[in-house]
Amino acid sequence: MKLLRVGPAGQEKPALLDASGMPRDLSAHIDDVSGDALSDESFARLRQLDPESLPTLPSDARIGPCVGHVGKFICIGLNYADHAAEAGMALPEEPVIFFKATSAIVGPNDDVEIPRGSVKTDWEVELGVVIGKPAKYISEAEALDHVAGYCVVNDLSERDFQLHRSGQWVKGKSADTFGPIGPWLVTRDEVTDPQDLPMYLEVNGTRFQDGSTRTMHFSVATVVSHLSQFMSLQPGDVISTGTPPGVGMGQKPEQYLQTGDSMVLGIRGLGVQRQRVVAS
Ligand code: ZN
């Protein structure tokens, strides 16, 4: 299933994408694409529904972030060998973990704001993992059973704030609009192999990132198991698993987003995001 949230910001309705690509209203069946609605039991109930019997929602309506009430927005740094190289950093021995503020989350096609004082706003296409079942001290073998599904994430990053403003990376990762997620939460049964997903990102029509989750250093299962040794994971938590090479910081010369730029990014089977860059 492809689940999404449709409507104005803060008033999104839960929806299911039907075979023809039309959003169908799930409001009568779940309150939101969040929390308990992400469990295997909930998905089994939704699969019993005939999509044709559900009310349609306007196909041109705004698409919101594909998960509501995200409790934790966890990111993995330097998780692609070729990206670590372009960033001039060593490949870590254990997953590098950082957080983005959940207030950064927006819909997949919402405008992205360049924060005040920014000179280095950068892009990062990433595979997002949405937790569906609580996870605490779980093994790699059982890790994917705790995943509800997958989505596209753009882990926008202000490199100067991230690397030169002291403390943790969180300063450069958390500005409003720095976390577009969606368009869809694709349930894990539809993603045969999360380690074989081509992904790309274009700025103003030029392809900068052209990678695959095949070159991920720590797999999704490793990352979920590893995180669960340090914190419990809850339904609706989103993990962004790192970016392949081709970010602006890796260009020679470095290249960053400017007001008026447009981004298009996608992952095979998980949909496409389109953002316009505006001033904050
Ligand atoms: Zn990232």
Give me the residue spans of the domains in the chain.
68-279
Please, are residues 159 and 172 in contact by the beta-carbon 8 Å criterion?
yes
Distance, CA 8 to ligand 1 centroid (Å)? 27
pLDDT, averaged per 10 consecutive residues of the chain (280 residues), comes to: 97 97 97 98 98 94 98 96 84 94 98 97 98 98 98 97 90 97 98 98 98 96 98 98 95 97 98 97
Residues lining ion ligand 1 (Cβ < 5 A) are 124, 155, 243
Please, are residues 105 and 73 in contact by the beta-carbon 8 Å criterion?
yes
- The CATH superfamily holding the domain 68-279 is Fumarylacetoacetase-like, C-terminal domain (3.90.850.10)
The predicted pLDDT at position 56 comes to 96
Instruction: State the burial class of residue 40 (Cβ atoms within 10 Å of its Cβ: 0-12, 13-18, 19+).
Output: middle
Distance, CA 169 to ligand 1 centroid (Å)? 10
The predicted pLDDT at position 81 comes to 87
The predicted pLDDT at position 83 comes to 84
The predicted pLDDT at position 84 comes to 84
Distance, CA 54 to ligand 1 centroid (Å)? 37
- Cα distances from 53 to residues 16, 34, 150, 235, in angstroms, run 12, 23, 26, 28
Q: Please tell me the distance from the alpha carbon of residue 27 to that of residue 189, in angstroms, as a whole number.
A: 23
Sequence letter at residue 246: G
HSE, side-chain direction, 13 A CA sphere, residue 39: 8
The predicted pLDDT at position 86 comes to 81
Distance, CA 248 to ligand 1 centroid (Å)? 12
Distance, CA 173 to ligand 1 centroid (Å)? 9
Give the global pTM. 0.97
The predicted pLDDT at position 88 comes to 84
The predicted pLDDT at position 73 comes to 98
Distance, CA 50 to ligand 1 centroid (Å)? 38
The predicted pLDDT at position 161 comes to 95
